[in-house]
Each structure stands twice: as C-alpha cells, then as structure tokens.
Structure 1
Amino acid sequence: MPLSLSPNSLHPSTLAFAQIFSQNSNLTQPWLPHVLLRKRPMPRISCVSTRPKRKPGTKTEDPDVREVVRMLMRSFSDKQPLLKTLNKYVRIVRTEHCFLLFEELGKSDGWLQCLEVFRWMQKQRWYVADNGVYSKLISVMGKKGQTRMAMWLFSEMRNSGCRPDTSVYNALISAHLNSKDKAKALDKALRYFDKMKGMERCQPNIVTYNILLRAFAQSRNVEKVNSLFKDLDESIASADIYTYNGVMDAYGKNGNIREMESVLSRMKSNQCKPDIITFNLLIDSYGKKQQFDKMEQVFKSLVRSKEKPTLPTFNSMIINYGKARLKEKAEDVFKKMIDMKYTPSFITYESLIMMYGFCDSVSKAREVFDRLADSGKELKVSTLNAMLDVYCMNGLPVEADKLFVNGNSIGVRPNVSTYKLLYKAYTKANMKELLEKLLKCMDKDGIVPNKRFFLEALGAFFSSAGSPGFQAKLEYKQSFCFQHQITVARGITYLYRECEATCKRLIRTEAKSCRNLLERVATFYSGKFWFLLCSSFFSVLNNVTGDDTRLWPGCLSV
C-alpha cells in the first residue's frame, strides 16, 4: 500500500549512508596478470577473470576467512610486527584475507599498515594484480584523508598492467571528496566524471551518481544536483533508494528543508517507496528545525506503513524535543517506545540524559544515569560523557569533577572526549585548580593532547579577544609545553615559529585586542615559565610594531 508522504510533511536523520558507498569495493573485477615493475616495453595485457562471478544477493564472505583475519588482527602488536605475523601464516594467507585486512585496518588509523600488507602481497607467488584490491586500497586512503596516497595507488595500478574500471574511478572520486578543500575536490570529481563518460569500460554507474549527488547536496549546490539528476535520467543507470536517501540526508543535515522535500517529491514521482532510513532521516531533519508538526506526521505515516520504527527513530525524537525544551513530549516518546515493546539501548539512555540536561532537569538526568549504572550492564564512556556534559552545560563544574573522579569506581575509564569537554568547561568557568588537576589526570592516564584537542576545547574561551586562530594556537602551545615539560626555550621558539604570521597581522589590525588577550592569559596562569614566555612574545610584538614592551604591563607584572 503506498505511503501518504507529501512533500510538505517529511524530513532526514543522522543515520550514516554507508550503503551508498559500500558498492565501490566490488570484488567481481577481472583478475589481471602481474607485471614486474622493470623499465622495459609494457606488453599488451588482456583482462581475464580468474574467479567465478558472484550471484547478486548472495553472501561471498567465507566464515573461515573472517576467522583467519581475526586471528591476524589479534596477533599484531609492538612485539609482533605486522610483516612478521604475515610471514608466520604465509601458507594460509591469500588475497581474500588481505582484502578483509584492508577493511579492518581501515576502520582504525592503520592506513600505513594497509600499504605494508599490499607490498607483502606483491611479493607472494600467488599474487595477481587486481582492480578490486586497488579500488579497496584507494577507498581506505581516501577515508583517512590520504588523497596523494590514493593517487599514487591509482598510478601504481596502471603501471602494474591493470586498466581502470568504474569501481576504481568511484573510489578515486570518493577519495578526493574526503579532502579538506571541498571546492577543489568537487571540481576534480567532475573532471573524473566527464573522463569516465568518454571511456567504454568506465561508464558512470548509479554508485558514481550517488557519490556526486550527495557531495553537491552537502555543498548546497542545488543547481548542480538538479543537473546531475537530469543527467542520470538520460543515462542507462536508474536512481535507487540510496540515491534519494543520500541527497535528502545531505540537504536535511544542512537545514535545506525545501530542497529536501523537492527530492522527496521526485522520489515519489519515480515510484520509489520510502524505507526506514527515509523515515528516520525525515524525522531527524524536521526535528532539528523544530518543525514538530511535520515530524509527528512522518512518524504517523511510518507507523501505518509496512516499515517499523527503529531505536534511532525514537532517539532522534527524544533529543530534538529536548533541544526545544519540550520535556513532556520527549517523555511521551520514551513511554510510547516502551509500550511498543522496544528495549532502550545505551544511546537511548544517553538521549534521555541529554534531553533532561537541555530542560534544566539535572536531577532527572542523574537518576537515569544512576539507574543505568546500577543495572549491572557495562557502562559506556559516552554515557559518562553525556552526564558530565549535562553538569557542564548547567554550570555545575564541581559536580562534574566529582563524577569524573568517581568514574573508575563505576567501571568507566575516561577518553579524550571526556577530557576535552571538561577542559572546555573548567576554562570557561575560570576554575584554575580543577584545570590543573585535570591536566595531571591526563598525564597519569597517558592522554596526549593534540592540536585539534585544544583548538576545539578553547574555541569560545578567547572569542572576545583577537583572532580565534591566534588565540587557540597560543593556548595550545601553553598547554602542550605545560603538560609535557618542554623546555622554555623550545616552547618560545615553537610559539614564535607557529604564530609569527598571525602575530604580524593581528598587531597591525587588532593591537588592543591582542594586548588584552595576552594579559588575560598571563593573569590566568602564573609562574616563571609564563613570565619568560610572555616577555619573549612581547619582544616579538615590539619587533613588529615598534612599541615598547613597557606599554604591555599586564603579563610582565605576573
């Protein structure tokens, strides 16, 4: 029975659309003979498949292969290097094992290890150059932001005698779109797209269109999205549910409700029925824009349809009602979920905790947290972080510190996110003692703060004085030096090298703000180190502006 979803009634969720891209790593590519990389004329190579073609919809993953990969992953350690482990099991490891290894290593920061596995593969007698392997590696490098490495693999593939196909170009386009310079990445992706159209074996498929449509929807380029849809209609490929879900999700996350509803109308006109992901993303998108009438209408349509609500459906409604401070409605959603025989997950409880935090009901949030802690189930660090966040957003840093100290007693070990949110809260509240205590705990737990940690944690603290980039870098250098006991001389040199250009620009345009910033930093932190550091930095200011450092008394009086 068709669903009564009108363009004026629907919206997206924060569900990831990994399904759109999962088709990129297709293993049904031709297996090609390996050509040794010598400087000699390249023979013409014909591509012949050495594997039977898969039947659509059937599982090809062998449980024995997965078990071997698990064993290999468990064997990796500092004492047992990756290559040594592979050599130990050289008699049983084959291409299918390495392919799954790429997947597992790609889920972490093991992209360098992926390259080690790849080089090890090339040395084995059974290795045959294959587009599927290169496509997977390019995809992994792209997800880790290693665009240059993805390009190198593409070049390596061609040198090995393989001819690129659609899946390889799809992986390459995705790799570019993961780079930081989105405008340049989109331009590069379009060039690859046009190039694919001119090659018979590389014609764009629906996966190609899905990748590009979602990317341009994320960049709010409505004109290009419409152009790609028109191009898709004229091609041999047909839009599927992943196409529409991906574009609607991107529009919804950006708050482009009208454009999202336009895509929904297109989906209905093409007789493509919504699935649970469609409903969830619509519910979430309307909820984020606080268009609760439409959100509730979508939920009613979902209940009447053949699809069934999932936990993310309820979680999204609870958190979005909470952000609007509609506590009663959020509680009604939770009650309805229980009445429908759903078992709350830890994410549901975290949504409840955050909802009560948004509604200033800290005691209610703590009740949920304590009930979960006393349930005997393993408490997630994300749940602890949610409760700490509630304390911090309600101006209760002391209570947050007490819970943080008791974390070990309830079986939860803090992670980097825990320290970051507490660091930010203590800094905003000017709680110097708690901040110093937190830094000592970080050192004790072996948490090494990186640049991003301080850039994110201190974005708001110095918002009223000077450039955010300069302010964050200054505080980052201070914390880095304080935490890891870098010498004063090295700290000053590093600070000057990193901030010289910003310093010059600030002093010429915002001298007063910069002076206020440094005075605030100096009065917040005391000690000989900061006296020397600020004195040295004022010498830099003097070199730039010609001002006498005696005009900057705030820091020097510490």
Structure 2
Amino acid sequence: MPINSSTLSLQLSSVTLFPSNGRQSSRYELKRPQKWLPQRLLNNPINRITCISSRPRKKSNLKSEKSEAEELVRVLLRSFSDQKPLISTLNKYVKFVRTEHCFLLFEELGKGDRWLQCLEVFRWMQKQRWYIADNGVYSKLISVMGKKGQTRMAMWLFSEMRNSGCRPDTSVYNALITAHLHSRDKTKALAKAIGYFEKMKGIDRCKPNIVTYNILLRAFAQARNIDQVNALFKDLEDSIISPDIYTYNGVMDAYGKNGMIREMESTLSRMKSNQCKPDIITFNLLIDSYGKRQAFDKMEEVFKSLLRSREKPTLPTFNSMITNYGKARLKEKAEYVFKKMTDMSYTASYITYESLITTYGFCDCVAKAREIFDEMIASGKDMHISTLNAMLDVYCMNGLPMEADLLFKNACNNGLLPDASTYKLLYKAYTKANMKELLENLLKYMDRDGIVPNKKFFLEALGAFGSSKARAESTHSTTGSSTPQVSAKTS
C-alpha cells in the first residue's frame, strides 16, 4: 500500500518527569555553596540574596536545577556500598535530598536489580519533615516493582498508598496494570489488567485515558488476541478520547503479527485520515509485516517512502528486511540491504550479523555463515548466546549435527555459557538425526549447568524423534539400511 511521503513527520511529546513535592519556596532565599557540588562550583561560591520571581521559571533554570539534582544523585550512588548502607549516605546528605532526588534514585536503582533499596529510600522519605504522601511517588515505585517482576510488592504499595490517605488516580492504575503485565503468567496478567480497566471506568478520578488504552492494546497485540484488540479499539472510538500514534501502531502491530494485512492497511488509512502522521515505529512494523508475508513489493515500497520522509531508518528496519529476505532464500537482496545500510553509515549490531548468519543458513551457505561468525569472534567483542545459537541453528537446519556439537563444545571450553534455548535447539536436532551418543553427552552438559527440561521441552523433542523414526523406517524399507544419511552442505 503506497504511503504519501508528504504526510510524514516526526511525532514528539512532552513528558513531566517529577510531580510537585508540595513544598513552597520563600520569596527571598540565601544562596550558599553546597558541599555535595563539584569542586569547580565550590571554587566560585555565590553568596548573595536574590529575589525569587513569582513568574514561571525559565527552561534554563529548570535545566540547571535538574542538572544539580542529577549530580547529587550521582554522589549518593557513588557513596554507598555493602559496608556503607544507603540510609547512612542519605542521612549524611539529609539537608539537600528532596523528593526530586528520590525520584531519580528510584530510576537509577530500578535499572539494576536493586528494588529493595528503592523501598529503603521510600521508608527514609516517609520519615522526613518535608515528605508529603503523593500519588506520583507511589506510581513510580509501583512501576519499578512491576519491571522487576515484584507484582506482590506493587500490590502492597497500592494498599499502602490508600492507607496513607492518597486516593488512587488514573496514573496509579496505569502503573498497576503495567506491573501485572510484567508477570510470567500472561493469561492471568491480562485478565487482571482487564479487571482493573473495567474498575477504572466506574471511578470518576480514575477514568481510563489514552495511556491506559495503549498499554492494553500493546499487551493484547503481543498476546495475539485480536478479538480483545478489536474490542478495546471500538471501546476507544465510542469514548471521548482520541487515539494517537501509539494507539494506531499498537493496533496495526496486532494485525501485522497475525497476518491480517488488509486490516492493518485499513487502520493505516484511518490513521492518516485523522491527520495522525506515521513515525518510524509505523514504518518498521509495516516493513516487518509485509516481509513476513513475503509481500516484498509492498515492503520495498514502504522502505522507499521511509527514505523520502523526514524519518530515518533504524537498525531494526534493516535487520527485519535482511531476515525476511533470508527466509525467502533471496540472498542477493539480503546482501544488498546490508550494503545499503553500511553505505548510509549505519554500524551493524550483533543482531544484524545474526540476521545475516541465519540468512546464509536458509540459503545453504554454511561456510559463509561460519565466516561471519568467526569474524565476530576475531573482533574481540562480547559474544552473545543468541549469536552462538544462530550459528548452531545453521548447522542443524543444514543437517550437520557433528559440526554443531563441535562448535558447542568449543564455546563451552572458551567460557561461553549456553542457556536453555541452546540446549533445546541441540536436543531437537540430535533427536531428529537419531544421534544417541551426542544426546547422552548433551544431557551431561545440561546436568552440569543445572538445566532442568520441562514437559514442553521433551514433548517437542519426542515429536522430532517420532518424525525422524518414521523417516528412518521408510529409508530402511527401501534401502535396507537403518543408518541415517547425513550430507554436508557448504557454499
């Protein structure tokens, strides 16, 4: 479907980082040098009385304050350790730490696996005279707990918020829904999310907003639940809320992942008719959806429209095209996309190289795939397990289990620890090839690494073994030999 390049532009939105902490500044303030500031600032102290204007502060002042807040947070993060608890560090800088600093601490601690320390900071906040119970604080903490899979802790914070006298609002429920969607049991999580969604409709201050719809649309799109996506989209259209670019992208992504190209194109037309301009996410999902359906004419048309627009391709744009060309065994076109990417001064990522390795595997060019793999090792960059798995898969799909086993053992001897997906890939391949000795050795490696296969793992392997056994019996009846024939394929 052609895309009119004249309608394309970049969508930007403003985001409020911090809520108000409820503290009012006096009209006159005495500026003194703060001990936590860098030495270059201490060398030029400013000691003067300034009059604080009642007009809104200029952006430059806000940027300066944010920079100072970030500097203090960096000092705090550098100052605590296992021997020196975080609370002791906070007490040391108690005169300077306020709500905005705690928000930044939540973000930084949340990036690592330090959610317990987020709770320590929260408890410390509650003991300070300047602390005022605020929905923004609870919303942020619930979000952090959700990302770390701590759904129960997110629920506890929700109860704690209500006990503190705060009334939940839409942002809090959005954070709670997102927290549930991060849990492992996706079916249960989606049911919980819809339950909260329906509950929000009955509370005036908690009515669903466009963020709520976008969260749910994306979740059900990933679950490939088209009926629920359609129901949510219709519910949104019947409301007073206007869909935005994230809404349309979520719906189109759901259709694209399920091969519903006409519905995806219809949504794109509706989006453009509502004066909502496609962004790079729109282009990428269209390219990926057309590529997976091998509608390469349309995929290439969208790519040309992207190049003519104000948007710029991203690495996922090229990776998707390389992968989909590879699955269709269009090696030359995949190589052309890679050349186009490098000519445009893009630096290939490990995912790009994995896409090329997989492409050569589909095109029976095992030697070329191994050449790229060896070049990645020689580059000295950190090797990802997914890259090893891609090369192993190339050997397995081309009927070379012995080569796969040799590469696997070399990787283990060189300190690269395989994961469950590695073992699953090899187990299926060895079972399919009826290589009992390789299977026994693989099980020893699995036991060494503490990999315990589940029911699904064995069912898939037994299915592969069943089909392999049927082929072996057929071969025996026609050739009189029960030894599986393995042919090496190289380019």
1-side partners of 2:323 and 2:131: how far apart? 51
1-side partners of 2:113 and 2:424: how far apart? 21
Q: SS where residue 92 of structure 2 aligns?
A: coil
Shift of the alpha carbon at 1:266?
1.6
2-side partners of 1:421 and 1:377: how far apart? 24
Partner residue in 2 for 1:511:
none
- Say whether residues 1:252 and 2:267 are aligned partners: no
- What's the Cα RMSD here? 3.8
- Say whether residues 1:229 and 2:233 are aligned partners: no
Structure 1 residues 71, 385: CA separation in 2 closer, same or farther (over 3 Å shift)? farther
Can you list the C-alpha shifts for 1:234-254, whole angstroms capped at 9, x where unaligned?
A: 23xx43222222222233223
Partner residue in 1 for 2:454:
454
- Which of 342, 359, 362 in structure 2 is aligned with 1:358? 362
- Say whether residues 1:28 and 2:30 are aligned partners: no
Shift of the alpha carbon at 1:304?
1.4
Partner residue in 2 for 1:194:
201
- Count of equivalent residues: 416
Structure 1 residues 223, 55: CA separation in 2 closer, same or farther (over 3 Å shift)? farther
Partner residue in 1 for 2:349:
345
1-side partners of 2:398 and 2:454: how far apart? 22
Q: SS where residue 133 of structure 2 aligns?
A: coil
Can you list the C-alpha shifts for 1:167-210, whole angstroms capped at 9, x where unaligned?
A: 11211232344443256235303313313xx42x4343321232
Structure 1 residues 406, 223: CA separation in 2 closer, same or farther (over 3 Å shift)? closer
Partner residue in 2 for 1:303:
307
Partner residue in 2 for 1:164:
168
Structure 1 residues 295, 209: CA separation in 2 closer, same or farther (over 3 Å shift)? same
Q: SS where residue 458 of structure 1 aligns?
A: helix
Partner residue in 2 for 1:131:
135
2-side partners of 1:66 and 1:305: how far apart? 40
Partner residue in 2 for 1:207:
211
**What residue identity is the alignment partner of 2:450?**
V
2-side partners of 1:425 and 1:220: how far apart? 34
Residues 308-319 of structure 1 correspond to what in structure 2 (within 5 A)?
A: 308-319=312-323
Partner residue in 1 for 2:32:
none
**What residue identity is the alignment partner of 1:190?**
F
Any conservation in 1 of the 2:21–2:131 contact (CA below 8 Å)? no
Shift of the alpha carbon at 1:106?
4.2
Any conservation in 1 of the 2:170–2:206 contact (CA below 8 Å)? yes
Shift of the alpha carbon at 1:162?
1.6
Structure 1 residues 170, 413: CA separation in 2 closer, same or farther (over 3 Å shift)? same
Q: SS where residue 226 of structure 2 aligns?
A: coil
1-side partners of 2:311 and 2:191: how far apart? 40
- Which of 225, 229, 234 in structure 2 is aligned with 1:219? 225
Gap runs ≥5 in structure 2: 7-11, 24-55, 467-491
- Which of 386, 389, 393 in structure 1 is aligned with 2:390? 386
Shift of the alpha carbon at 1:268?
0.2
Q: Tell me the TM-score normalised to structure 2 length.
A: 0.72
Structure 1 residues 243, 374: CA separation in 2 closer, same or farther (over 3 Å shift)? same
Partner residue in 1 for 2:280:
276
Structure 1 residues 225, 163: CA separation in 2 closer, same or farther (over 3 Å shift)? closer
Any conservation in 1 of the 2:315–2:348 contact (CA below 8 Å)? yes
**What residue identity is the alignment partner of 1:448?**
G
Partner residue in 1 for 2:36:
none
Shift of the alpha carbon at 1:123?
4.6
Shift of the alpha carbon at 1:166?
2.1
2-side partners of 1:108 and 1:259: how far apart? 40
1-side partners of 2:274 and 2:158: how far apart? 37
Partner residue in 2 for 1:422:
426
Partner residue in 2 for 1:92:
93
**What residue identity is the alignment partner of 2:283?**
F
2-side partners of 1:224 and 1:364: how far apart? 48
2-side partners of 1:228 and 1:461: how far apart? 43
Shift of the alpha carbon at 1:462?
2.8
1-side partners of 2:104 and 2:440: how far apart? 44
Any conservation in 2 of the 1:214–1:246 contact (CA below 8 Å)? yes
2-side partners of 1:289 and 1:114: how far apart? 45
2-side partners of 1:66 and 1:420: how far apart? 44
Gap runs ≥5 in structure 1: 7-18, 33-51, 467-558
Q: SS where residue 460 of structure 2 aligns?
A: coil
Structure 1 residues 164, 437: CA separation in 2 closer, same or farther (over 3 Å shift)? same
- Say whether residues 1:287 and 2:291 are aligned partners: yes
Any conservation in 1 of the 2:115–2:145 contact (CA below 8 Å)? yes
2-side partners of 1:251 and 1:137: how far apart? 33
Residues 7-22 of structure 1 correspond to what in structure 2 (within 5 A)?
A: none
Any conservation in 1 of the 2:103–2:137 contact (CA below 8 Å)? yes
Any conservation in 2 of the 1:356–1:364 contact (CA below 8 Å)? yes
Shift of the alpha carbon at 1:436?
4.2
Any conservation in 2 of the 1:29–1:131 contact (CA below 8 Å)? no
Partner residue in 1 for 2:484:
none
Structure 1 residues 121, 306: CA separation in 2 closer, same or farther (over 3 Å shift)? same
2-side partners of 1:54 and 1:185: how far apart? 43
Shift of the alpha carbon at 1:146?
4.3
- Which of 153, 159, 175 in structure 2 is aligned with 1:155? 159
2-side partners of 1:143 and 1:101: how far apart? 15
2-side partners of 1:442 and 1:63: how far apart? 45
**What residue identity is the alignment partner of 2:232?**
V
Structure 1 residues 142, 376: CA separation in 2 closer, same or farther (over 3 Å shift)? closer
Any conservation in 1 of the 2:5–2:308 contact (CA below 8 Å)? no
1-side partners of 2:422 and 2:131: how far apart? 45
**What residue identity is the alignment partner of 1:392?**
C
Shift of the alpha carbon at 1:424?
4.2
Shift of the alpha carbon at 1:55?
6.7
2-side partners of 1:104 and 1:431: how far apart? 49
Structure 1 residues 417, 161: CA separation in 2 closer, same or farther (over 3 Å shift)? same
**What residue identity is the alignment partner of 2:91?**
V
Shift of the alpha carbon at 1:371?
2.0
Partner residue in 2 for 1:15:
none
2-side partners of 1:121 and 1:84: how far apart? 15
2-side partners of 1:420 and 1:121: how far apart? 47
Structure 1 residues 184, 381: CA separation in 2 closer, same or farther (over 3 Å shift)? closer
- Say whether residues 1:141 and 2:145 are aligned partners: yes
- Which of 179, 182, 185 in structure 1 is aligned with 2:192? 185
Q: SS where residue 164 of structure 1 aligns?
A: coil
Structure 1 residues 55, 168: CA separation in 2 closer, same or farther (over 3 Å shift)? farther
Partner residue in 2 for 1:332:
336
Over the matched positions of the two proteins, sequence identity in percent amounts to: 66
**What residue identity is the alignment partner of 2:198?**
R
